[in-house]
Amino acid sequence: MLTLTCPYCGLQADETELHGGGEAHLTRFGPDSSDDEFEAYLFLRQNPRGVHAERWRHVYGCGKWFHALRDTTTLQVFGTYPAQTLTPPADLLKAAGVEPAA
Amino acid sequence: MPDLLETPETTVTDLPPGGMILLRGSLADAAFAEVLTGCGISVPGTRQIVPCTVGQVGWMSPDELLVFCEATASADLALRLDAALSGQHALVLRVDDMRARFRIAGPGARVALAKLCPVDMARIAPAELRRTRLAQIPAAFWTENGADFDLVCFRSVAGYARNVLTRAARHTQGIVLP
Ligand SMILES: [Zn+2]
């Protein structure tokens, strides 16, 4: 059972109270981008076996989107953080044993 | 012959929903809170439901409150709030007819809700407004006396809520919450 703490409610929300939103921190490519960039934005995902930053929505609770950093293999959750964040926080990456991108 | 497991003392009843007003705006914004206070509405803390001059007000999200008031008072109050909040980035919406309201009362109320919601029911204290999943639908509940619960859900699924709550309240004896 996956339990994530909603950064807005402070609740430890059960997975069934949440809605998954896929990979986080994508760069949106719009009308002026190349076909390759647009295709990658729409369809190509990392889908890693290991540490993954994801979007989740507290759909049965406060209704807000937020981010979670977790391991897709062990299901360990390193932490959650607000949607208004462009990259995973350094302390969570450290907990996950990942070097922050420069 | 009576069913020994039946616990008829836990009841589910329909309540008149009363007046409800949905308020959206940044709860962290002092100007927004000031206008609300002027209209008799306090700003509750995260996940709280508190009494106020007009009735009760509950925290729904960082930018949403739900005001519970008398059904006869909601039209006036909504107009007053709307006028007072003009010029601010805020929304006032009268939603009296949007939700149905139930009372789950009796010794098995917590157990009945625990069967239907992914909530640590043993830890729900008075003044907490818990929005969650009730079986397959969204709902919110709170308790004033620590024993009986009031629950609101969308009116379109009121029949479903009544059915699952009644069924869950039927057999609660002997179930101990962790
Ligand atoms: Zn939440």
- Both B128 and B84 in a single domain? no
Handedness of CA B123, B125, A19, A88 (dihedral sign): negative
The pLDDT assigned to A1 comes to 82
Run of H or E residues at B178: none
- Both B138 and B89 in a single domain? no
- Domain boundary assignment for chain A: 3-95
DSSP β-bridge partners for residue B101? B15, B152
ipTM: 0.90
Looking at the partner chain, which of A10, A61, A63 has a beta carbon nearest the beta carbon of B132? A61
| CB within 8 Å: A62 and B133 | no
CA B104 to centroid of ligand 1, rounded, Å: 24
In the predicted model, what is the mean pLDDT of residues A6-33? Answer: 96
Q: pLDDT of B83-131, one tens digit each? A: 999 999 999 999 999 999 999 999 999 999 999 999 999 999 999 999 9
Closest chain A C-alpha to B64 CA, distance in angstroms = 9
B60 occurs within a structural domain: yes
- Both B117 and B71 in a single domain? no
Looking at the partner chain, which of A13, A17, A62 has a beta carbon nearest the beta carbon of B61? A62
CATH of domain A3-95: 3.30.2270.10
| CB within 8 Å: A8 and B61 | yes
The pLDDT assigned to B1 comes to 45
Q: Is the pLDDT of residue A43 over 60?
A: yes
DSSP β-bridge partners for residue B69? B19, B55
Rounded mean pLDDT of chain B?
A: 94
Q: Is the pLDDT of residue A67 over 70?
A: yes
For residue B47, the chain A residue with the least C-alpha distance is A9
Would you call A10 an interface residue with chain B, using a CB distance cutoff of 8 Å? yes
- Res. B178 pLDDT band, cuts 50 70 90: confident
Q: pLDDT of B51-67, one tens digit each? A: 999 999 999 999 999 99
Among A1, A4, A14, the strongest candidate for a mutation testing the B interface, having the largest count of B CBs within 10 A, is: A14
Closest chain B C-alpha to A59 CA, distance in angstroms = 8
pTM as predicted? 0.92
Q: Which of A77, A92, A69, A73 is nearest to A14 (CA)?
A: A77
For residue A65, the chain B residue with the least C-alpha distance is B61
SS3 A91: helix
SS3 A1: coil
- Both B117 and B82 in a single domain? no
| CB within 8 Å: A9 and B47 | yes
Q: Which of A68, A89, A86 is nearest to A77 (CA)?
A: A68
Q: Is the pLDDT of residue B33 over 70?
A: yes
The pLDDT assigned to A52 comes to 96
Instruction: List the structure tokens of A101.
Output: 């991108």
Report d(CA A62, CA B30) in Å as an integer.
21
Tell which of B71, B94, B117 closes a domain. Answer: B94
Q: Which domain holds residue B49?
A: 19-94
The pLDDT assigned to A102 comes to 53
Report d(CA A60, CA B131) in Å as an integer.
7
Q: Is the pLDDT of residue A98 over 80?
A: yes
Among A57, A62, A64, the strongest candidate for a mutation testing the B interface, having the largest count of B CBs within 10 A, is: A62
Give the CA distances from residue A13 to residues A17, A42, A72, in Å, rounded to whole numbers and listed in that order: 6, 29, 18
The CATH number covering residue B78 comes to 3.30.70.1520
Closest chain B C-alpha to A11 CA, distance in angstroms = 9
Q: pLDDT of A78-96, one tens digit each? A: 999 999 999 999 999 999 9
